[in-house]
């Protein structure tokens, strides 16, 4: 068979025949005869002992699965050693070509599911998983180096390790460092004690307002600086406003109750960003309840403090104005807001740190979102190790 085209992965290979076997393409191939070095005595020999036909799976050809029937030579040396020729397209004891293994390694990482890769390349899911494990073992390093600034957050993984897992990332480079199998205090503490002991400088830890995270970080690290994520403490004010809205609208007419629920975003907007239509709804519903009007005014007072705090480096003044906001809330006597500022008082040092150190967990929420998309596309991962390697 005269053949002048180089098939990917089969350069220098002689193709003797091509035929269709069902829905597959079969190529009968061999390598040119040449001298080989004996693995026993290291002498060169070109004497052929016999031939063996080896069946090898190869990449798709014109979107059809391809099989190679490789006529492999076995050489014999004067010392009596018999050995197979070295092949550039398939490794010893393999039933798949080198190109096929490379493609499976890449697709197992990039594709949505292992089953999808198996269907495309005509193999089983377990074979794809084995190749994936090999890639993960080569690429993922054992042990981590803890940088000076880290961010931690939980996400719902639903794996065999538990419902929730914890991701730790570099807050400066935005790269994931490691993923812990659960969010328990002891697990976090053990990890930070193991890898944080070598960090000579003070470690900055960015987190949401989870008491377990805070306790674990304080126990594991030497005087860490804990930074509360701005989004997570700001939402307590909006939750308090929403609690007041839900409480007062219960006594309203059904039309106003449903309409207020539908237009609740008007209450969340900053006053200077409201349109004429928004202003009309704001005046209507705050006019129907003095408590809701006070709650909205407290929300605006908080936003005013928050916006100003981002523009200054005077933390003592930031603290004074925050305490003034506390007094205003206490004077209003709205239980939802009093509960919210109690949380602020418990986390006041960490909240003030968020204005001193310009770090946030926003990028980590993005990583968590991508992780959840990977999980949904794969209809979930049973194995925590596989999910961790995918992320």
Cβ count near 273 (within 10 Å): 7
Query: In the chain, what are the domain boundaries?
Result: 1-95, 99-139, 149-229+361-390, 230-356
Sign for the pseudo-dihedral over CA of 136, 141, 142, 147: negative
Q: Is the pLDDT of residue 194 over 90?
A: no
Q: Which top CATH class is 149-229+361-390?
A: alpha beta
Q: Which helix (H) or strand (E) holds 186?
A: helix 185-196
The residues, ordered by sequence, that sit 6+ positions from 265 with a Cβ below 8 Å of its Cβ are none
Contact predicate 285/274, CB 8 Å: no
pLDDT at 198: 64
Q: What average pLDDT does range 291-318 have in this prediction? A: 95
Task: Determine how β-strand 162-170 pairs with β-strand 149-159.
Answer: antiparallel
Percent of the chain whose predicted confidence (pLDDT) is above 90: 76
Instruction: Flag whether pLDDT at 5 surpasses 80.
Output: no
| pLDDT 10s digits, 116-145 | 999 999 999 999 999 999 999 888 877 778
Whether the Cβ atoms of residue 110 and residue 117 lie closer than 8 Å to each other = no
Angle of helix 315-332 relative to helix 290-309, nearest 10 degrees, comes to 180
User: Could you read off the pLDDT of 168-179 as tens digits, one per residue?
Assistant: 999 999 999 999
Q: What is the rounded distance in angstroms from the CA atom of residue 350 to the CA atom of residue 227?
A: 5
DSSP for residue 21: E
Kindly give, in sequence order, each residue whose CB lies less than 8 Å from that of residue 256, ignoring residues fewer than 6 positions away: 249, 285, 288
| List of E strands, the chain | 14-21, 24-30, 36-37, 44-45, 48-61, 64-76, 82-84, 149-159, 162-170, 176-180, 204-207, 225-228
The number of angstroms, rounded, from the C-alpha of 53 to the middle of its chain's C-alpha atoms is 45
């Amino acid at each position: 068979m005269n053949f002048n085209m180089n098939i990917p992965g089969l350069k220098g290979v002689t193709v003797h025949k091509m035929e269709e076997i069902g829905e597959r393409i079969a190529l009968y191939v061999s390598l040119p005869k040449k001298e080989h070095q004996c693995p026993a005595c290291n002498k060169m020999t070109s004497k052929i002992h016999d031939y063996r036909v080896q069946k090898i799976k190869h990449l798709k050809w014109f979107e059809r699965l391809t099989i190679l029937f490789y006529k492999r030579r076995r050489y014999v040396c004067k010392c009596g050693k018999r050995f197979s020729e070295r092949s550039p397209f398939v490794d010893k004891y393999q039933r798949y070509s080198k190109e096929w293994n490379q493609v499976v390694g890449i697709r197992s990482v990039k594709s949505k599911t292992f089953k999808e890769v198996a269907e495309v390349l005509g193999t089983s899911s377990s074979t794809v998983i084995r190749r994936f494990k090999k890639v993960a073992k080569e690429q993922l390093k054992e042990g981590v180096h803890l940088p000076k600034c880290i961010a931690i957050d939980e996400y719902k993984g639903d794996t065999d390790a538990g419902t929730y897992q914890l991701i730790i990332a570099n807050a400066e480079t935005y790269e994931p460092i490691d993923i812990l199998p659960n969010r328990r205090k002891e697990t976090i503490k053990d990890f930070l004690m193991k890898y944080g002991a070598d960090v000579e400088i003070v470690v900055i830890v960015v987190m949401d307002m989870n008491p377990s995270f805070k306790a674990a970080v304080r126990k594991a690290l030497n005087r860490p600086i804990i930074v509360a994520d701005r989004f997570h403490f700001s939402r307590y004010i909006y939750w308090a406003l929403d609690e007041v809205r839900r409480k007062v609208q219960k006594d309203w007419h059904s039309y106003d109750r449903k309409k207020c629920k539908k237009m609740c975003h008007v209450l969340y907007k900053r006053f200077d960003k409201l349109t004429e239509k928004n202003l009309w709804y704001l005046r209507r519903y705050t006019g129907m309840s003095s408590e809701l009007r006070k709650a909205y005014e407290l929300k605006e007072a908080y936003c005013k403090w928050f916006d100003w705090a981002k523009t200054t480096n005077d933390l003592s003044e930031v603290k004074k104005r925050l305490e003034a906001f506390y007094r205003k809330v206490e004077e209003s006597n709205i239980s939802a807001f009093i509960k919210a500022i109690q949380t602020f008082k418990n986390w006041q040092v960490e909240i003030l740190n968020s204005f001193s150190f310009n770090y946030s967990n926003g990028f980590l929420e993005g990583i968590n979102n991508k992780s959840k998309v990977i999980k949904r596309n794969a209809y979930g991962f049973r194995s925590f190790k596989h999910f961790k390697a995918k992320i």
